[in-house]
Amino acid sequence: MRLKPVVGEPALSLEVKGERLLVVADLHLGMEGELAERGISLPSQIPSARRRLEGLIRRERPDRLIFLGDVKHHVPASTWQEWAELPPFFQSLLKLVRVEVVKGNHDGDLEGMVVEGVRVHGPGGIRVGEVALLHGHTWPSRELWEAETLILAHSHPAVELRDPLGGRVVAPVWLRGELDPSLLPAQRRREVEGRRKVMVLPAFGELVGGCAVNGPSCEELLGPLFRCGAVRREEMEAFLLDGTYLGKVGRLPREP
């Protein structure tokens, strides 16, 4: 098995038994509709996201493209834009690669927006070799606990950086850590033997922003694995998209 982030991109390259996968998460397509309600007018971001993905597919040459949840944005109701633009978005990608979606908490109605050939999995996730892939807003399905590594999304991890002059930037990061099964609720603890590696993907969507793990707005990462304390945010290691190692989250400079 080979697992590595794509340098410079919020995308994961995974090779299992000769099959290559490209994994991205949290596109939140259609988010510009919500911004329009706040008086911010932007063109559709779906063509831009499609071009970025097509470029990655041609560069990485995967056998499968897997969306790890929150392909679309609006909940509980979907917008006319999502209904109109997502089917051709999927159709374009299918010309290059097999496409699968593991549903996230924003993916209601998605089954009606995909085209024939796109496979949609439930939020409990899927297992590929020794890797479990899920969005992260729900507990993993039982069979995923047997995998060595859990790949999650959902939290949009980022880091807030400041310079001496007060300049501020929020940059997306990868997070890597471990799950301690002894800290799981009793009914879940019985399903797991031994520690598991955990990786959290940054968001692919350009409008999504991020939860700065060293800022006051991100005291806890999202999802039951973090809420129960089985994965400790402070002990996770943070990496920028270019691979720069920032250290453990708990030791990063805390921004006010």
pLDDT attached to residue 36: 56
Ranges of residues in the chain with a pLDDT under 70 are: 32-43, 219, 255-256
CA distances from 6 to 56, 122, 134, 242, 250 (A): 9, 26, 19, 9, 25
> What's the pLDDT score for residue 42?
65
Closest to 74 in 3D by CA, of 121, 109, 24:
109
pLDDT at 130: 93
Residue among 195, 123, 182 nearest 152 (CA)? 123
pLDDT value for 162: 78
